[in-house]
Amino acid sequence: MADMMETSEAKQTGENHKPEAASGSRIVLAVDIGGSHVKAELSSGSERRSVASGPKMTAKKMVDALRDLTADWHYDLVAMGYPGPVAAHRPAADPFNLGPEWKGFDFEAALGKPVRMVNDALMQAIGSYEAGRMLFLGLGTGLGSAMIAENVCLPLELAHMPYKKATFEDYVGERGLEGRGKGRWRKSVFDVTDRLAAALQPDYIVIGGGNVDRLKEMPPKCRRGSNDNAFRGGFRVWLDDSLRL
């Protein structure tokens, strides 16, 4: 896996997070598992490191790569954002954009550390949450979604709900952006957001994901999220005792 690791300059992406307030000085390794890269950062204040992933990466290969990537780091706990459904802190299904053999994989046994795994949209939502009822929508390849209501964290699967002639994901995900053009895609984002706000009644909505930067303006009651919040969310999964996962 050594040849997969990037140089120290390439490992550092963006500004480092300030150390998260830790309970009993426990250090959390936050891992964001994506279709093109697996990214990692420490709650104690480290650079962010990444390794290439892709359609051939199994859970075991990811663990091997993560061990190499963090060989010189000390951490006590692991939080993972997984691109798919999660049950009992393990993958409930294989991801569509990575390799096989993820479902039910025991990451605690493989890493020798306590592991809490949540859906990747929920991890970014947790990092974005302030108070009250928040709906999170992640605009990327598909449509990630989660809600946090009075500190209770709820992963959602809204992407494949029927919408017009297809699904929400078909209109506001990557297919909708590429197939219908940026202008019509933006109108769909506003319409989908308005419908979900009417149905779920959040106090505010955070829109994140890789394509949020393609929005010139934000829909009503919405604010722009940041992918950096995924790591803050990972730290909070372990260190914020007010949250209910």
Q: Is residue 245 part of a domain?
A: no
What is the domain-level CATH number for residue 96? 3.30.420.40
Tell me the torsion sign for CA atoms 76, 79, 80, 84: positive
Residue 44 sits in which domain range? 2-123+229-239
> Do residue 114 and residue 233 come from a single domain?
yes
Residues 138 and 175 in one domain: yes
Burial 53-78 (b: 16+ CB within 10 A, else e): beeebebebbbbbbeebbeeeebbbb
pTM above 0.75, yes or no: yes
244 within a domain of the structure (yes/no): no
**Residues 73 and 90 reside in one and the same domain:** yes
Count structural domains, the chain.
Answer: 2
- What is the structure's pLDDT at 18? 44
Q: Does 6 share its domain with 99?
A: yes
Q: Are strands 37-42 and 28-33 parallel, antiparallel or unpaired?
A: antiparallel
What's residue 19's pLDDT? 45
pLDDT, residue 231, reads 98
pLDDT (0 to 100) of residue 127 = 98
Q: What's the confidence (pLDDT) of residue 2?
A: 38
How far apart are the C-alpha atoms of 47 and 8, rounded to whole Å?
A: 9
Residue 10 sits in the same domain as residue 96: yes
Q: Give strand pairing partners of 207.
A: 137, 224
Residue 219 lies in a domain: yes
CA dist 124 → 30, 32, 58 (Å): 11, 9, 23
What is the DSSP pairing of strand 28-33 with strand 77-82? parallel
**116 with 235, same domain?**
yes
**110, part of any domain:** yes
Structure tokens given for 196 = 């979900």
Residue 194 lies in a domain: yes
pLDDT at 25 (0 to 100): 86
Q: Could you tell me if 224 and 217 are in contact, meaning their C-beta atoms sit under 8 angstroms apart? A: no
Distance CA 230, CA 144 (A): 13
Rg of the chain over CA atoms, in angstroms? 18
Same domain, 6 and 115: yes
How is residue 228 written in tokens? 């950096």
203 and 117 in one domain?
Answer: no
Do both 111 and 15 map to the same domain? yes
Reading the chain (245 residues) residue by residue, the pLDDT tens digits are: 434 334 333 333 333 444 444 455 899 999 999 989 999 999 999 999 999 999 999 999 999 999 999 999 999 999 999 999 999 999 999 998 899 999 999 999 999 999 999 999 999 999 999 999 999 999 998 999 999 999 999 999 999 999 999 999 999 999 999 999 999 999 999 999 999 999 999 999 999 999 999 999 999 999 999 989 999 999 999 999 999 99
Q: What's the pLDDT score for residue 22?
A: 44
Q: Give CA torsion, residues 117, 158, 94, 98, to 10 deg.
A: -90
Same domain, 119 and 177: no
Q: Distance (Å, rounded) from C-alpha 158 to C-alpha 148?
A: 15
Same domain assignment for residues 82 and 140? no
Q: What is the rounded CA–CA span in Å between residue 157 and residue 138?
A: 11
Residues 109 and 189 in one domain: no
209 is a domain residue: yes
